[in-house]
């Protein structure tokens, strides 16, 4: 009887390795995940700052106060948790998002989840 033996190098058993975007060094998948998360948070903060400035320019009387906050996690849970922590009067969400199936349903999954579980009024904007 002939047996075939598959040899896996010990390094492979430690998990896949990746290249850091910042240093170019070889890093673990966990370190890459942290690096990408920080990069994404920075890009989101920049985008939100630009939107905030646009709104402030359109409101010279300063009647609208805009605060931004970046949250990580499942969007419905994070929106509802933040709304509860801040004791908000109303949550405003868009009716559809980026899921790609916008024509098939009236509400996106995030707006649907928020409207179904929120303890305060929710305004859904189309």
**pLDDT of 88-102, one tens digit each?**
999 999 887 655 555
Taking the C-alpha atoms of residue 88 and residue 65, their distance in angstroms, rounded to an integer, is 14
Confidence (pLDDT) at 22? 79
Confidence (pLDDT) at 67? 79
Taking the C-alpha atoms of residue 48 and residue 96, their distance in angstroms, rounded to an integer, is 19
What is the percent of the chain with per-residue pLDDT over 90, rounded to a whole number? 29
Q: Is the pLDDT of residue 69 over 70?
A: yes
Pairing of strands 91-94, 122-125: parallel
Confidence (pLDDT) at 1? 46
Taking the C-alpha atoms of residue 113 and residue 75, their distance in angstroms, rounded to an integer, is 9
Instruction: Please state the pTM of the whole predicted model.
Output: 0.63
What is the percent of the chain with per-residue pLDDT over 70, rounded to a whole number? 79
Reported in sequence order, the residue ranges of 29-121 that DSSP labels E, i.e. its strands, are: 91-94
Confidence (pLDDT) at 72? 82
Confidence (pLDDT) at 80? 96
Q: Is the pLDDT of residue 106 over 90?
A: no
Taking the C-alpha atoms of residue 82 and residue 69, their distance in angstroms, rounded to an integer, is 10
Which residues, at least 6 apart from 55, have a Cβ–Cβ distance to it below 8 Å?
Answer: 64, 66
Q: Where are the domains of the chain?
A: 14-61, 71-126
> Per residue in 26-64, pLDDT tens?
888 888 888 988 898 889 889 988 988 888 888 877 787
Topology of domain 71-126, per CATH?
Rossmann fold (3.40.50)
Taking the C-alpha atoms of residue 36 and residue 20, their distance in angstroms, rounded to an integer, is 9
By the 10 Å C-beta count (0-12 exposed, 13-18 middle, 19+ buried), 32 is classed as middle
């Amino acid at each position: 009887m002939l047996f075939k033996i598959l040899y896996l190098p010990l390094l492979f058993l430690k998990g896949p390795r990746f290249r850091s975007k910042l240093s170019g060094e070889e890093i673990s998948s966990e370190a890459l995940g942290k690096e990408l998360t920080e990069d994404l948070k920075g890009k989101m903060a920049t985008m939100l700052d630009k939107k905030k400035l646009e709104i402030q320019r359109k409101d010279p009387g300063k009647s609208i106060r805009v605060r931004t906050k970046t949250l990580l996690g499942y969007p419905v849970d994070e929106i509802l948790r933040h709304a509860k922590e801040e004791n908000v009067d109303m949550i405003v969400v868009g009716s559809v998002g980026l899921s790609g199936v916008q024509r098939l349903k009236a509400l996106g999954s995030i707006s649907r989840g928020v409207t179904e579980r929120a303890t305060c009024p929710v305004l859904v904007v189309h």
